[in-house]
Structure 1
Amino acid sequence: MILASHIIVSGLLGATTQNYFLAAAIGLVSHYILDAIPHWDFYLSPEFNVKVETEDGSFIKEKLFWKEVGKIAIDILIGLGLLFVFLKTSSYINITAVFISVFFGVLPDPLQLLYLMTKWRFIKWNFDFQEFVHHS
């Protein structure tokens, strides 16, 4: 699912609470619930994870990497823009709770990408759970 939908749903749900811990839980749970619904994803190019070694031994990302980062940034900006359009009609919202909920509402996707890039075992649970939710 594109990040914009996770941002909008988790932000709107997070706006209903003043409790920051509840906002975090709402955001996180909403992510997995949304991912359980059959949906379209835009996929990052397979070359997204490619690193090129420079002459001095350091690594740089391919040009394609920055193109993919740009797509993600546009997705996030659209989600935040639409969220604030929807929230504008509210008389009072706790913006901190909204941002906490949004943060936790999108967190599983960057964790999944981080796992794919690093294979860190301590975040493998998220990768496995995301795969289970997407394919069940």
Structure 2
Amino acid sequence: MILATHAVVGAAIGRLIPNPLVAFLVGFISHFAIDAIPHWQYRLASMVHRNGPMEDDMVINRKFIWDLARTGLDFAAGMVLSILLFQGTNNLSHISIPLVAGAVGGVLPDALQFAYFKIRREPFTTLQKLHNRAHSKEHLNAFPYGLVWQTLVAAIAVIVSKLIL
């Protein structure tokens, strides 16, 4: 899943849970749940695939800077989209902390993968194993279809969140 999808789903959770810590934790868990759904994701040019997913790495070079910019834009788009979907533009002076906590929790497992690639110690090793186990083995590599599917997942999260509260 792209980070924007994880952010919107996490924000939908944060909208329903008034406690920021709980919203963050449930958003974090949601990451693994929606990663289990077959999806498309963009390729990271700095990613090096080796003898199995626990051996993968990210090389810090010019390609990494490009990947960092792309994932940063993806994250920012997800946060802005989350705030606009759940708060609109009328109340931007007071952004909901649980909403942001849920969105950040939803995105964090992907960021922690980089920590695993560079540190390869606990708790990152266990988290990476969980991430690999939860992640769908089936990928929707056809770009428009995979992105449409993710949009549908995010839309369902938004609709359910708005129906409940």
Unaligned stretches of 5+ in structure 1? 51-60
Q: 1:94/1:125 Cα in 2 relative to 1: closer, same or farther (>3 Å)?
A: same
Tell me, in whole angstroms, the C-alpha distance in 1 between the residues paired with 2:87 and 2:136.
Answer: 36
Q: 1:86/1:120 Cα in 2 relative to 1: closer, same or farther (>3 Å)?
A: same
**TM superposition score normalised by structure 1:** 0.80
Tell me, in whole angstroms, the C-alpha distance in 2 between the residues paired with 1:94 and 1:18.
Answer: 13
Deviation per CA, 1:72-123: give whole Å up to 9, x if none.
Answer: 1110121112112211359988611112112211111111121122212331
| Secondary structure, counterpart of 1:80 in structure 2 | helix
Which aligned pairs between 1:91-106 and structure 2 lie closer than 5 A?
95-106=96-107
Which residue of structure 1 aligns with residue 78 of structure 2? 79
Tell me, in whole angstroms, the C-alpha distance in 2 between the residues paired with 1:11 and 1:40.
Answer: 21
| Secondary structure, counterpart of 2:5 in structure 1 | helix
Which residue of structure 1 aligns with residue 120 of structure 2? 119
Which residue of structure 2 aligns with residue 24 of structure 1? 24
| Secondary structure, counterpart of 2:123 in structure 1 | helix
**TM superposition score normalised by structure 2:** 0.67
Which shifted more, 94-103 or 25-34?
94-103
Unaligned stretches of 5+ in structure 2? 49-56, 138-165
Structure 1: which 4+ aligned runs deviate by more than 2 Å?
A: 46-50, 88-94
Q: 1:135/1:17 Cα in 2 relative to 1: closer, same or farther (>3 Å)?
A: closer
Q: CA RMSD in A?
A: 2.4
Tell me, in whole angstroms, the C-alpha distance in 2 between the residues paired with 1:89 and 1:75.
Answer: 20
Tell me, in whole angstroms, the C-alpha distance in 2 between the residues paired with 1:21 and 1:104.
Answer: 9
